[in-house]
Amino acid sequence: MKKSAIQVGAVLVVLALPHIASATNMNPDKPNIVVIMADDMGYADTGFTGATDIQTPNLNELAASGVTFSSGYVTHPYCGPRCA
C-alpha cells in the first residue's frame, strides 16, 4: 500500500510539473526575436532598404515595427581550401 501511494504521488507531481512551469515562465519583459536568413540576398534587395523590383510587404512591415540588423561580418573563413 505504501509503495502504491508513493507511485501515485510521483505520477501526480510529474503531471503537475508542466502546468507549474508554464505558469512561472511567463515573462512579458523578454522581447520576441525573429532572425530571417536568406541565401545570396544583398543589402538592397528588400523594400525597406529601397529596392523596387522585388515586393516584400511583410518584411517591410516587420522592419517598420521593429529593429533591423543592417550589417554583419563573418569572423571565420567560410570558404575552405580545395585540398584540405
The tally of domains found in the chain comes to: 1
- The boundaries of the domain holding residue 41 are 2-65
Domain membership of residue 82 (yes or no) is no
The tens digit of pLDDT for each residue in 2-31 reads: 667 787 777 777 777 776 666 555 666 777
DSSP class of residue 56 equals -
Q: What predicted TM-score, i.e. pTM, was given to this entire model? A: 0.46
Please report, for residues 15, 17, 37, 44, the alpha-carbon distance to residue 40 in angstroms, rounded to integers and kept in the order given.
47, 45, 10, 12
**Residue 71 within any structural domain of the chain:** no
35 within a domain of the structure (yes/no): yes
Residue 29 is which amino acid? D
At residue 10, what are phi and psi to the nearest 5 degrees?
-65, -40
How does pLDDT run across 33-54, given as a tens digit for each residue?
A: 778 878 777 778 888 888 888 8
28 in any annotated domain: yes
